[in-house]
Amino acid sequence: MSLPNREVSIGHPISNQEPRIELDLSVEEMEALKHLRSRTGKLSNKVEHMRIIFPV
């Protein structure tokens, strides 16, 4: 399954501010991303320390 390209905004970490990525995703894309993160989160400290912000 191929997902459409999305615009990604990456916040630069300043002092103690966490790195932040904001995505405009559909419900299906959110589920796919959460599944991917759960499979890759243990492999990379970068992923572990990243907060993913979902639209509400």
Mean pLDDT of 33-53: 59
Query: Quick count: other Cβ atoms within 10 Å of Cβ 20?
Result: 14
Instruction: Look at the alpha carbons of 50, 10, 37, 30 in this order and tell me if their dihedral is positive or negative.
Output: positive
pTM value surpassing 0.75:
no
How high is the mean pLDDT of the chain? 60
* Domain parsing of the chain, residue ranges: 19-53
Between 55 and 47, the higher pLDDT residue: 55
Go through 32-50 and write b for each residue having 16 or more CB atoms within 10 A of its CB, e for each that does not.
Answer: eeeeeeeeeeeeeeeeeeb
Between 55 and 31, the higher pLDDT residue: 31
pLDDT tens per residue, range 8-34: 555 554 545 555 566 666 778 777 777
